[in-house]
Amino acid sequence: MTGRAIRIGTAPDSWGVWFPDDPAQIAWDRFLDEVVAAGYTWIELGPYGYLPTDPNRLADELGSRGLRLSAGTVFTGFHKGEDQWARAWDQALAVAGLAAALGAEHLVVIPDLWRSDATNEVLESRTLDAAGWTTLAAGHDRLGKALLDEFGMKQQFHPHADSHIGTYREVERFLEETDEAYTNLCLDTGHFAYYGGDSLRLIDAHPTRIGYLHLKQVDPDLLFDVLKNDVPFAEAVAQEIMIEPPLGIPEFAPIIERVASLDPDIFGIIEQDMYGCAIDRPLPIATRTREHIFTTTAAARIS
């Protein structure tokens, strides 16, 4: 251990927030208050429109609570063709524009799912053909360059359950087909483990491609039922596939320590998928998760 430590934060997802406006979700101001109560300093923007979108108001709301913004999030479907560029860039102008105005330097980019997380409908093939891979990679490199040029922000691509980029081999192919200068990974430990991925192996194999972390754990017993029975990801979340640490896999400490030895400026954002949970449930879990990380991992820091 080198004595280096990464920055630990949290996200609206850990409070069950998936959509900009859902009456079943926690109110945004209560979310911010509970983030502070749980002991965090860094947060992500979450779905655009959940937190205030006026940069001055959002800066006031965060500043009054001692909170800082690590990243925003957009969704892309570059494998579908050239017409997807306008959709991606329109999102980036809004999300990256707001996040950059508050000092964030990262944009987490999530690929469209082949199965809808809203309706569970199968939308397309589970795998990409050669043309799809080429179009997807080119689109992300174009987006990454544009984000750097326009906002000075780094694109962090997020492999995801029920998407085309999820397994170890799929992630490796994505890295092979994209340019490190413009496209790197938001390594989500839970989503990667969902398809059997070993985060430490990936970090060791591609240390310069790890730009950001999402920290979550998967229930290893439930996972095999989910995969055997082809349970849609949204249903798996409702069944609590993402479980409170330290009850799941992978173990956080070795991953945090390995990444800290590479770059202590990387963020480790705790992001336990909790959509559909009772509003009072997330705060105790978020508090215990933070305590677990800080009592087991010398390589974690608040800011």
Domain at 163, CATH number? 3.20.20.150
1 within a domain of the structure (yes/no): no
> Which pLDDT value is given to residue 299?
83
50 within a domain of the structure (yes/no): yes
> Which pLDDT value is given to residue 2?
46
176 within a domain of the structure (yes/no): yes
- Would residue 167 be called left, alpha or beta, if left means φ above 0 and alpha means ψ between -120 and 50 degrees? beta
163 within a domain of the structure (yes/no): yes
> Which pLDDT value is given to residue 4?
82
The pTM score is 0.96
216 within a domain of the structure (yes/no): yes
> Which pLDDT value is given to residue 301?
78
164 within a domain of the structure (yes/no): yes
Domain count, the chain: 1
Per-residue pLDDT of the chain (303 residues; tens, 9 = 90+): 346 899 999 999 999 999 999 999 999 999 999 999 999 999 999 999 999 999 999 999 999 999 999 999 999 999 999 899 999 999 999 999 999 999 999 999 999 999 998 899 999 999 999 999 999 999 999 999 999 999 999 999 999 999 999 999 999 999 999 999 999 999 999 999 999 999 999 999 999 999 999 999 999 999 999 999 999 999 999 999 999 999 999 999 999 999 999 999 999 999 999 999 999 999 999 999 999 999 999 888 776
> Which pLDDT value is given to residue 1?
39
